[in-house]
Protein backbone atom coordinates (compact mmCIF):
# COMPACT_ATOMS: atom_id res chain seq x y z
CA UNK A 1 0.00 0.00 0.00
CA UNK A 2 2.65 2.47 -1.03
CA UNK A 3 1.84 5.96 -2.15
CA UNK A 4 0.19 6.08 -5.54
CA UNK A 5 2.12 7.61 -8.39
CA UNK A 6 0.91 10.72 -10.12
CA UNK A 7 0.42 8.72 -13.33
CA UNK A 8 -2.08 6.23 -11.83
CA UNK A 9 -5.16 6.11 -14.02
CA UNK A 10 -8.68 4.70 -14.02
CA UNK A 11 -10.66 4.15 -17.23
CA UNK A 12 -14.33 3.18 -17.39
CA UNK A 13 -15.89 1.89 -20.60
CA UNK A 14 -19.59 1.35 -21.28
CA UNK A 15 -20.65 -0.62 -24.35
CA UNK A 16 -23.82 -2.08 -25.77
CA UNK A 17 -23.46 -5.79 -24.98
CA UNK A 18 -24.97 -7.13 -28.23
CA UNK A 19 -23.14 -4.91 -30.71
CA UNK A 20 -20.07 -3.74 -28.80
CA UNK A 21 -20.82 -0.10 -29.72
CA UNK A 22 -19.19 2.24 -27.16
CA UNK A 23 -21.72 4.32 -25.22
CA UNK A 24 -19.22 6.38 -23.24
CA UNK A 25 -15.71 6.38 -21.80
CA UNK A 26 -14.81 8.22 -18.58
CA UNK A 27 -11.34 8.51 -17.07
CA UNK A 28 -9.49 9.84 -14.05
CA UNK A 29 -5.78 10.35 -13.52
CA UNK A 30 -4.17 10.90 -10.17
CA UNK A 31 -7.65 10.96 -8.59
CA UNK A 32 -8.94 13.82 -10.77
CA UNK A 33 -11.19 13.68 -13.87
CA UNK A 34 -9.25 13.31 -17.11
CA UNK A 35 -10.13 13.78 -20.77
CA UNK A 36 -7.85 10.98 -21.85
CA UNK A 37 -9.65 8.48 -24.07
CA UNK A 38 -8.59 4.93 -24.83
CA UNK A 39 -7.90 4.12 -28.50
CA UNK A 40 -10.77 2.42 -30.27
CA UNK A 41 -8.52 -0.56 -30.98
CA UNK A 42 -8.02 -1.10 -27.23
CA UNK A 43 -11.75 -0.80 -26.57
CA UNK A 44 -12.48 -3.29 -29.33
CA UNK A 45 -9.89 -5.76 -28.03
CA UNK A 46 -11.22 -5.59 -24.47
CA UNK A 47 -14.78 -6.18 -25.63
CA UNK A 48 -13.73 -8.80 -28.17
CA UNK A 49 -11.96 -11.05 -25.69
CA UNK A 50 -14.99 -10.81 -23.37
CA UNK A 51 -17.44 -11.74 -26.16
CA UNK A 52 -15.14 -14.56 -27.30
CA UNK A 53 -15.39 -16.09 -23.85
CA UNK A 54 -19.17 -15.73 -23.82
CA UNK A 55 -19.44 -17.62 -27.10
CA UNK A 56 -17.63 -20.51 -25.38
CA UNK A 57 -19.87 -20.31 -22.29
CA UNK A 58 -16.98 -18.82 -20.30
CA UNK A 59 -17.48 -15.68 -18.24
CA UNK A 60 -14.41 -13.47 -18.18
CA UNK A 61 -14.57 -11.48 -14.95
CA UNK A 62 -11.09 -10.05 -14.47
CA UNK A 63 -7.52 -10.02 -15.65
CA UNK A 64 -4.29 -8.49 -14.46
CA UNK A 65 -1.16 -7.40 -16.29
CA UNK A 66 2.09 -6.16 -14.85
CA UNK A 67 0.69 -2.70 -14.14
CA UNK A 68 -3.07 -2.80 -14.84
CA UNK A 69 -6.12 -4.57 -13.43
CA UNK A 70 -9.16 -5.10 -15.69
CA UNK A 71 -12.69 -6.11 -14.63
CA UNK A 72 -15.66 -6.85 -16.93
CA UNK A 73 -19.34 -7.04 -15.96
CA UNK A 74 -22.47 -7.33 -18.12
CA UNK A 75 -25.81 -6.12 -16.77
CA UNK A 76 -29.15 -7.54 -17.97
CA UNK A 77 -27.45 -8.89 -21.13
CA UNK A 78 -27.67 -5.33 -22.42
CA UNK A 79 -24.83 -3.15 -21.13
CA UNK A 80 -21.21 -4.16 -20.56
CA UNK A 81 -19.01 -2.12 -18.23
CA UNK A 82 -15.22 -2.47 -18.25
CA UNK A 83 -12.86 -0.80 -15.81
CA UNK A 84 -9.08 -0.58 -16.14
CA UNK A 85 -7.00 0.58 -13.19
CA UNK A 86 -3.28 1.23 -12.98
CA UNK A 87 -3.58 2.41 -9.38
CA UNK A 88 -1.14 0.62 -7.10
CA UNK A 89 -2.86 -2.15 -5.16
CA UNK A 90 -6.13 -2.06 -7.12
CA UNK A 91 -8.25 -5.00 -5.96
CA UNK A 92 -11.02 -6.84 -7.77
CA UNK A 93 -13.40 -6.22 -4.86
CA UNK A 94 -13.07 -2.46 -5.24
CA UNK A 95 -13.40 -2.51 -9.04
CA UNK A 96 -16.39 -4.88 -9.03
CA UNK A 97 -18.25 -2.70 -6.54
CA UNK A 98 -17.39 0.35 -8.61
CA UNK A 99 -19.00 -1.21 -11.70
CA UNK A 100 -22.14 -2.13 -9.74
CA UNK A 101 -22.44 1.42 -8.44
CA UNK A 102 -21.82 2.94 -11.88
CA UNK A 103 -24.63 0.86 -13.38
CA UNK A 104 -26.82 1.89 -10.45
CA UNK A 105 -26.01 5.53 -11.26
CA UNK A 106 -27.04 4.95 -14.87
CA UNK A 107 -30.37 3.46 -13.79
CA UNK A 108 -30.87 6.24 -11.23
CA UNK A 109 -30.74 8.98 -13.87
CA UNK A 110 -31.84 7.23 -17.08
CA UNK A 111 -34.06 4.34 -16.00
CA UNK A 112 -33.68 0.59 -16.44
CA UNK A 113 -35.96 0.33 -19.47
CA UNK A 114 -33.79 2.67 -21.54
CA UNK A 115 -30.74 0.54 -20.73
CA UNK A 116 -32.28 -2.88 -21.34
CA UNK A 117 -34.33 -2.05 -24.45
CA UNK A 118 -31.89 -0.04 -26.56
CA UNK A 119 -33.83 1.20 -29.57
CA UNK A 120 -31.63 4.12 -30.59
CA UNK A 121 -27.95 4.04 -29.62
CA UNK A 122 -27.30 7.68 -30.43
CA UNK A 123 -30.23 8.82 -28.31
CA UNK A 124 -29.04 6.66 -25.41
CA UNK A 125 -25.55 8.16 -25.68
CA UNK A 126 -27.11 11.62 -25.40
CA UNK A 127 -29.27 10.62 -22.41
CA UNK A 128 -26.27 9.11 -20.62
CA UNK A 129 -24.49 12.48 -20.59
CA UNK A 130 -26.66 13.32 -17.59
CA UNK A 131 -24.79 10.63 -15.63
CA UNK A 132 -21.27 11.91 -16.32
CA UNK A 133 -21.01 14.18 -13.28
CA UNK A 134 -22.07 11.44 -10.86
CA UNK A 135 -19.93 8.78 -12.53
CA UNK A 136 -16.86 11.05 -12.60
CA UNK A 137 -17.24 11.61 -8.86
CA UNK A 138 -17.25 7.83 -8.32
CA UNK A 139 -13.97 7.55 -10.22
CA UNK A 140 -12.25 10.42 -8.42
CA UNK A 141 -10.62 10.57 -5.00
CA UNK A 142 -13.33 11.18 -2.43
CA UNK A 143 -13.81 11.84 1.27
CA UNK A 144 -16.61 9.25 1.32
CA UNK A 145 -16.46 5.46 1.56
CA UNK A 146 -19.95 4.33 0.52
CA UNK A 147 -18.78 3.47 -2.99
CA UNK A 148 -16.52 0.83 -1.46
CA UNK A 149 -18.39 -0.32 1.66
CA UNK A 150 -21.92 -0.21 0.17
CA UNK A 151 -23.00 1.56 3.37
CA UNK A 152 -24.46 5.08 3.59
CA UNK A 153 -21.92 7.67 4.72
CA UNK A 154 -23.24 9.44 7.83
CA UNK A 155 -22.38 12.19 10.28
CA UNK A 156 -23.57 12.30 13.89
CA UNK A 157 -25.00 15.71 14.89
CA UNK A 158 -24.98 16.72 18.55
CA UNK A 159 -28.67 17.64 18.42
CA UNK A 160 -29.62 14.55 16.47
CA UNK A 161 -32.96 13.83 18.22
CA UNK A 162 -34.11 17.43 17.73
CA UNK A 163 -33.31 17.37 14.01
CA UNK A 164 -34.90 13.93 13.68
CA UNK A 165 -38.12 15.20 15.23
CA UNK A 166 -38.25 18.18 12.88
CA UNK A 167 -37.51 15.97 9.86
CA UNK A 168 -40.20 13.42 10.75
CA UNK A 169 -42.80 16.13 11.33
CA UNK A 170 -41.97 17.85 8.06
CA UNK A 171 -42.07 14.59 6.07
CA UNK A 172 -45.46 13.69 7.53
CA UNK A 173 -46.92 17.07 6.60
CA UNK A 174 -45.77 16.96 2.98
CA UNK A 175 -46.95 13.36 2.63
CA UNK A 176 -43.64 11.57 2.11
CA UNK A 177 -41.98 8.81 4.10
CA UNK A 178 -38.60 9.41 2.44
CA UNK A 179 -36.75 12.45 3.74
CA UNK A 180 -33.21 13.20 4.91
CA UNK A 181 -30.72 15.92 5.76
CA UNK A 182 -27.55 15.71 3.66
CA UNK A 183 -24.29 17.58 4.34
CA UNK A 184 -21.44 17.12 1.89
CA UNK A 185 -22.85 13.82 0.61
CA UNK A 186 -23.28 12.46 4.15
CA UNK A 187 -26.65 11.81 5.80
CA UNK A 188 -27.13 13.64 9.10
CA UNK A 189 -30.71 12.45 9.73
CA UNK A 190 -33.24 10.34 7.89
CA UNK A 191 -36.80 9.14 8.30
CA UNK A 192 -37.50 5.44 8.85
CA UNK A 193 -38.56 5.19 5.21
CA UNK A 194 -35.31 6.75 4.01
CA UNK A 195 -33.26 4.18 5.93
CA UNK A 196 -35.31 1.38 4.34
CA UNK A 197 -34.18 2.38 0.86
CA UNK A 198 -32.37 -0.50 -0.82
CA UNK A 199 -28.98 -0.66 -2.47
CA UNK A 200 -27.68 1.12 -4.42
CA UNK A 201 -30.05 4.10 -4.19
CA UNK A 202 -29.39 4.49 -0.45
CA UNK A 203 -25.74 5.29 -1.29
CA UNK A 204 -26.30 7.06 -4.61
CA UNK A 205 -28.97 9.60 -3.63
CA UNK A 206 -26.90 11.52 -1.04
CA UNK A 207 -23.84 11.09 -3.28
CA UNK A 208 -25.78 12.66 -6.16
CA UNK A 209 -26.89 15.59 -4.01
CA UNK A 210 -23.29 16.15 -2.93
CA UNK A 211 -22.10 16.37 -6.54
CA UNK A 212 -24.76 18.73 -7.93
CA UNK A 213 -23.97 22.46 -8.29
CA UNK A 214 -25.32 24.59 -5.40
CA UNK A 215 -28.94 25.55 -5.92
CA UNK A 216 -31.61 26.91 -3.59
CA UNK A 217 -34.18 24.31 -4.68
CA UNK A 218 -34.42 21.43 -7.15
CA UNK A 219 -37.12 19.18 -8.55
CA UNK A 220 -35.07 16.30 -9.96
CA UNK A 221 -36.49 13.14 -11.59
CA UNK A 222 -34.80 9.94 -10.42
CA UNK A 223 -35.39 6.22 -10.72
CA UNK A 224 -34.72 3.90 -7.80
CA UNK A 225 -32.48 1.06 -9.11
CA UNK A 226 -33.81 -1.34 -6.46
CA UNK A 227 -37.24 0.02 -5.56
CA UNK A 228 -38.55 1.58 -8.77
CA UNK A 229 -36.17 1.15 -11.74
CA UNK A 230 -38.77 1.91 -14.45
CA UNK A 231 -41.06 4.52 -12.87
CA UNK A 232 -39.43 7.84 -11.92
CA UNK A 233 -39.84 9.63 -8.61
CA UNK A 234 -39.26 13.28 -7.81
CA UNK A 235 -36.23 14.14 -5.71
CA UNK A 236 -36.89 17.53 -4.10
CA UNK A 237 -33.92 19.29 -2.54
CA UNK A 238 -33.95 22.53 -0.57
CA UNK A 239 -30.85 24.29 0.69
CA UNK A 240 -31.35 25.04 4.38
CA UNK A 241 -27.79 26.37 4.72
CA UNK A 242 -24.91 26.44 2.22
CA UNK A 243 -23.73 22.83 2.15
CA UNK A 244 -26.75 21.44 4.04
CA UNK A 245 -29.73 20.24 2.03
CA UNK A 246 -33.11 18.76 2.79
CA UNK A 247 -34.00 15.87 0.45
CA UNK A 248 -37.46 14.43 -0.15
CA UNK A 249 -38.55 11.59 -2.41
CA UNK A 250 -42.16 11.92 -3.55
CA UNK A 251 -44.65 11.45 -6.36
CA UNK A 252 -46.52 14.12 -8.35
CA UNK A 253 -47.43 15.97 -5.14
CA UNK A 254 -46.63 18.26 -3.41
CA UNK A 255 -45.51 21.15 -5.63
CA UNK A 256 -42.03 22.47 -4.88
CA UNK A 257 -43.35 25.95 -4.03
CA UNK A 258 -45.57 24.53 -1.28
CA UNK A 259 -42.68 22.59 0.22
CA UNK A 260 -40.45 25.69 0.27
CA UNK A 261 -42.97 27.67 2.36
CA UNK A 262 -43.41 24.85 4.86
CA UNK A 263 -39.67 24.37 5.21
CA UNK A 264 -38.77 28.00 5.80
CA UNK A 265 -41.59 28.94 8.12
CA UNK A 266 -42.75 26.03 10.19
CA UNK A 267 -40.15 23.35 10.64
CA UNK A 268 -36.61 24.58 10.18
CA UNK A 269 -36.43 28.16 11.41
CA UNK A 270 -36.77 27.02 15.07
CA UNK A 271 -33.79 24.63 14.72
CA UNK A 272 -31.44 26.98 12.88
CA UNK A 273 -28.64 26.71 15.45
CA UNK A 274 -28.63 22.88 15.53
CA UNK A 275 -28.53 22.96 11.72
CA UNK A 276 -25.46 25.19 11.81
CA UNK A 277 -23.80 22.88 14.33
CA UNK A 278 -24.65 19.92 12.09
CA UNK A 279 -23.02 21.58 9.09
CA UNK A 280 -19.80 22.18 11.03
CA UNK A 281 -19.51 18.42 11.62
CA UNK A 282 -19.15 17.50 7.93
CA UNK A 283 -15.34 16.96 7.82
CA UNK A 284 -15.02 15.17 11.19
CA UNK A 285 -18.34 13.36 11.27
CA UNK A 286 -18.55 13.09 15.06
CA UNK A 287 -18.79 15.82 17.71
CA UNK A 288 -15.49 17.43 18.68
CA UNK A 289 -16.34 16.78 22.33
CA UNK A 290 -16.32 13.01 21.79
CA UNK A 291 -13.09 11.59 23.30
CA UNK A 292 -10.81 9.70 20.92
CA UNK A 293 -7.32 8.47 21.66
CA UNK A 294 -4.79 10.97 20.23
CA UNK A 295 -2.96 8.17 18.38
CA UNK A 296 -6.01 7.55 16.15
CA UNK A 297 -5.46 9.23 12.78
CA UNK A 298 -8.55 7.91 11.01
CA UNK A 299 -11.46 5.52 11.44
CA UNK A 300 -14.04 3.63 9.43
CA UNK A 301 -17.03 2.38 11.42
CA UNK A 302 -19.68 0.23 9.73
CA UNK A 303 -23.01 -1.14 10.89
CA UNK A 304 -23.42 -4.00 8.43
CA UNK A 305 -27.10 -4.67 9.19
CA UNK A 306 -28.25 -1.05 9.02
CA UNK A 307 -25.88 -0.36 6.08
CA UNK A 308 -24.59 2.85 7.65
CA UNK A 309 -21.00 4.00 7.90
CA UNK A 310 -18.83 6.67 9.50
CA UNK A 311 -15.56 7.49 7.71
CA UNK A 312 -13.23 10.25 8.86
CA UNK A 313 -9.57 11.19 8.96
CA UNK A 314 -10.19 14.75 10.21
CA UNK A 315 -9.61 14.05 13.87
CA UNK A 316 -7.45 17.03 14.76
CA UNK A 317 -3.98 15.50 14.50
CA UNK A 318 -1.64 17.53 12.29
CA UNK A 319 1.27 15.09 12.31
CA UNK A 320 1.53 12.06 10.10
CA UNK A 321 0.46 11.50 6.48
CA UNK A 322 -1.87 13.78 4.54
CA UNK A 323 -5.67 13.27 4.74
CA UNK A 324 -5.72 11.80 1.22
CA UNK A 325 -3.05 9.24 2.17
CA UNK A 326 -4.93 8.36 5.35
CA UNK A 327 -8.12 7.76 3.38
CA UNK A 328 -6.28 5.64 0.84
CA UNK A 329 -4.68 3.50 3.54
CA UNK A 330 -7.99 2.89 5.31
CA UNK A 331 -9.78 2.07 2.06
CA UNK A 332 -7.02 -0.36 1.02
CA UNK A 333 -7.10 -2.00 4.46
CA UNK A 334 -10.88 -2.38 4.21
CA UNK A 335 -10.48 -4.22 0.89
CA UNK A 336 -7.86 -6.50 2.45
CA UNK A 337 -9.83 -7.48 5.55
CA UNK A 338 -13.12 -7.85 3.66
CA UNK A 339 -11.64 -10.04 0.94
CA UNK A 340 -9.47 -12.23 3.18
CA UNK A 341 -10.56 -12.12 6.83
CA UNK A 342 -14.04 -10.80 7.60
CA UNK A 343 -17.31 -11.74 5.88
CA UNK A 344 -18.87 -9.04 3.73
CA UNK A 345 -22.12 -9.14 5.71
CA UNK A 346 -22.82 -9.44 9.41
CA UNK A 347 -23.37 -13.02 10.51
CA UNK A 348 -22.84 -14.57 7.07
CA UNK A 349 -19.87 -16.72 8.09
CA UNK A 350 -21.56 -17.94 11.27
CA UNK A 351 -24.75 -18.83 9.36
CA UNK A 352 -22.80 -20.75 6.71
CA UNK A 353 -20.89 -22.71 9.35
CA UNK A 354 -24.13 -23.50 11.19
CA UNK A 355 -25.72 -24.86 8.00
CA UNK A 356 -22.72 -27.13 7.50
CA UNK A 357 -22.94 -28.35 11.09
CA UNK A 358 -19.53 -27.13 12.19
CA UNK A 359 -18.24 -24.55 14.61
CA UNK A 360 -17.88 -21.05 13.22
CA UNK A 361 -14.32 -19.79 13.06
CA UNK A 362 -14.68 -16.10 12.31
CA UNK A 363 -11.82 -13.66 12.89
CA UNK A 364 -12.58 -10.98 15.44
CA UNK A 365 -9.53 -8.78 14.95
CA UNK A 366 -6.53 -8.32 12.69
CA UNK A 367 -3.81 -5.75 12.27
CA UNK A 368 -0.90 -4.81 10.07
CA UNK A 369 2.07 -2.47 10.37
CA UNK A 370 3.40 -0.62 7.35
CA UNK A 371 7.07 -1.20 6.59
CA UNK A 372 9.80 1.28 7.47
CA UNK A 373 10.90 3.73 4.78
CA UNK A 374 14.02 2.84 2.77
CA UNK A 375 17.22 4.58 3.83
CA UNK A 376 17.03 8.18 2.68
CA UNK A 377 13.43 7.72 1.54
CA UNK A 378 10.35 9.57 2.73
CA UNK A 379 7.34 7.33 3.13
CA UNK A 380 4.53 9.16 4.97
CA UNK A 381 2.96 5.82 5.84
CA UNK A 382 6.05 4.23 7.39
CA UNK A 383 5.34 2.56 10.71
CA UNK A 384 1.62 3.31 10.71
CA UNK A 385 -0.64 0.74 12.33
CA UNK A 386 -3.91 -0.50 10.85
CA UNK A 387 -6.26 -2.54 13.01
CA UNK A 388 -9.75 -3.97 12.46
CA UNK A 389 -12.17 -5.47 14.97
CA UNK A 390 -15.67 -6.84 14.57
CA UNK A 391 -18.37 -7.32 17.18
CA UNK A 392 -21.78 -8.46 15.99
CA UNK A 393 -22.96 -6.25 13.13
CA UNK A 394 -20.32 -3.57 13.78
CA UNK A 395 -16.90 -3.42 12.20
CA UNK A 396 -14.27 -0.82 13.05
CA UNK A 397 -11.07 -0.05 11.18
CA UNK A 398 -8.51 2.33 12.69
CA UNK A 399 -5.42 4.04 11.33
CA UNK A 400 -3.07 4.53 14.28
CA UNK A 401 0.16 6.52 14.60
CA UNK A 402 3.53 4.70 14.86
CA UNK A 403 3.85 5.75 18.53
CA UNK A 404 1.11 3.30 19.53
CA UNK A 405 2.56 -0.09 20.63
CA UNK A 406 1.50 -3.06 18.55
CA UNK A 407 0.42 -5.15 21.54
CA UNK A 408 -2.09 -2.46 22.55
CA UNK A 409 -3.84 -2.18 19.17
CA UNK A 410 -6.63 -4.66 19.83
CA UNK A 411 -7.45 -3.14 23.19
CA UNK A 412 -7.49 0.37 21.70
CA UNK A 413 -9.77 -0.70 18.86
CA UNK A 414 -12.12 -2.63 21.16
CA UNK A 415 -12.52 0.30 23.54
CA UNK A 416 -13.07 2.70 20.67
CA UNK A 417 -15.70 0.44 19.09
CA UNK A 418 -17.53 0.17 22.42
CA UNK A 419 -17.56 3.98 22.76
CA UNK A 420 -18.73 4.52 19.17
CA UNK A 421 -21.77 2.24 19.65
CA UNK A 422 -23.61 5.40 20.68
CA UNK A 423 -23.47 6.61 17.08
CA UNK A 424 -24.08 3.55 14.86
pLDDT tens-digit profile of 103-134?
Answer: 999 999 999 999 999 999 999 999 999 999 99
Query: What is the mean pLDDT of the segment spanning 145-150?
Result: 94
In a domain, 267, yes or no: yes
- Under the banding of pLDDT at 50, 70 and 90, the label for residue 375 is very low
Predicted pLDDT at 6: 46
Q: Are residues 267 and 306 in the same domain?
A: no
Q: Report the CATH number that the domain containing residue 413 is assigned in CATH.
A: 3.30.450
Q: Which domain-ending residue is among 256, 280, 304?
A: 280
Q: Are residues 300 and 276 in the same domain?
A: no
In a domain, 242, yes or no: yes
At residue 232, does pLDDT exceed 80?
yes
Query: What is the mean pLDDT of the segment spanning 249-260?
Result: 87
In a domain, 146, yes or no: no
CB of 265 closer than 8 Å to CB of 198 = no
Higher pLDDT, 353 or 283: 283
**DSSP tag of 210:** H
Q: Are residues 274 and 305 in the same domain?
A: no
At residue 381, does pLDDT exceed 60?
no
Q: Are residues 248 and 184 in the same domain?
A: yes
Taking the C-alpha atoms of residue 279 and residue 283, their distance in angstroms, rounded to an integer, is 9
Q: How far is CA 178 from CA 73, 149, 225, 235, 246, in A?
A: 31, 22, 16, 10, 11
At residue 164, does pLDDT exceed 90?
yes
Kindly report the average pLDDT of the chain as a whole number: 88
Q: Are residues 105 and 169 in the same domain?
A: no
At residue 284, does pLDDT exceed 70?
yes
Predicted pLDDT at 3: 39
At residue 343, does pLDDT exceed 80?
no
Q: Are residues 344 and 244 in the same domain?
A: no
Predicted pLDDT at 8: 81
Taking the C-alpha atoms of residue 49 and residue 400, their distance in angstroms, rounded to an integer, is 44
388: Cα within 13 Å, side-chain hemisphere: 25
HEC-encoded secondary structure of 231-270: EEEEEEEEEEECCEEEEEEECCCCCHHHHHHHHHHHHCHH
Predicted pLDDT at 386: 95
> Which among 209, 206, 236, 207 is positioned nearest to 220, based on CA atoms?
236
- Under the banding of pLDDT at 50, 70 and 90, the label for residue 374 is very low
CB of 413 closer than 8 Å to CB of 402 = no
pLDDT tens-digit profile of 171-208?
Answer: 998 889 999 999 989 999 999 999 999 989 999 999 99
Cα–chain-centroid distance for residue 332? 14
Q: How far is CA 411 from CA 213, 362, 383, in A?
A: 44, 18, 19
Predicted pLDDT at 103: 98
Q: Report the CATH number that the domain containing residue 210 is assigned in CATH.
A: 3.30.450.30
In a domain, 288, yes or no: no
Q: Are residues 13 and 82 in the same domain?
A: yes
- DSSP letters, 289-310, are TS---TTEEEEEEEETTTTEEE
Packing angle of the helix pair 160-174, 272-280 (nearest 10 deg): 120
Query: What is the mean pLDDT of the segment spanning 343-370?
Result: 65
Q: Are residues 346 and 409 in the same domain?
A: yes
pLDDT tens-digit profile of 4-51?
Answer: 444 589 999 999 998 899 999 999 988 788 888 888 888 899 989 888
3 state DSSP class of 97: helix
- Under the banding of pLDDT at 50, 70 and 90, the label for residue 86 is confident
Please give the model's pTM, rounded to 2 decimal places: 0.90
Predicted pLDDT at 39: 87
pLDDT tens-digit profile of 292-312?
Answer: 999 999 999 999 999 999 999
3-state DSSP: the chain helix, strand, coil percent, rounded to 5? 35, 25, 35
In a domain, 148, yes or no: no
- Under the banding of pLDDT at 50, 70 and 90, the label for residue 363 is confident
R_g over Cα of the chain? 22
pLDDT tens-digit profile of 92-101?
Answer: 899 999 999 9
In a domain, 352, yes or no: yes
In a domain, 290, yes or no: no
Query: What is the mean pLDDT of the segment spanning 404-416?
Result: 93
Domain boundaries, position 165: 158-280
> Which among 396, 154, 416, 158 is positioned nearest to 288, based on CA atoms?
158
Packing angle of the helix pair 92-110, 121-128 (nearest 10 deg): 100
In a domain, 150, yes or no: no
The rounded percent of the chain whose pLDDT value lies above 70 is: 90
Number of domains in the chain: 3
Taking the C-alpha atoms of residue 192 and residue 391, their distance in angstroms, rounded to an integer, is 24
Q: Are residues 179 and 203 in the same domain?
A: yes
Q: Are residues 122 and 169 in the same domain?
A: no
Q: What is the maximum alpha-carbon separation in the chain?
A: 66
- Under the banding of pLDDT at 50, 70 and 90, the label for residue 319 is confident
Q: Are residues 273 and 218 in the same domain?
A: yes
At residue 354, does pLDDT exceed 80?
no
Q: Are residues 271 and 167 in the same domain?
A: yes
The rounded percent of the chain whose pLDDT value lies above 90 is: 61
- Under the banding of pLDDT at 50, 70 and 90, the label for residue 344 is low
Amino acid sequence: MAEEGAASALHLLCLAASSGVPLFCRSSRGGAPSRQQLPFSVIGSLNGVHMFGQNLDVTLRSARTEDTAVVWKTFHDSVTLIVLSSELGSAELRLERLLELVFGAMVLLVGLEELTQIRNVERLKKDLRATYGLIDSLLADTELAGDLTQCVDCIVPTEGPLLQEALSGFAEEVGSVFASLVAGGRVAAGTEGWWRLGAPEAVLLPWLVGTLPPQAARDYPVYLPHGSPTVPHRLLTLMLLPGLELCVLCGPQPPLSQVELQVLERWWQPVLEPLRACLALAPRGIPASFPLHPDILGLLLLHLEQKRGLFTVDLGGKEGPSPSTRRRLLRSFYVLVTATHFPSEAGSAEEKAKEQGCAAEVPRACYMVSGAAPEGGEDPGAGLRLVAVQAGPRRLLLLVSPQSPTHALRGLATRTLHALRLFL
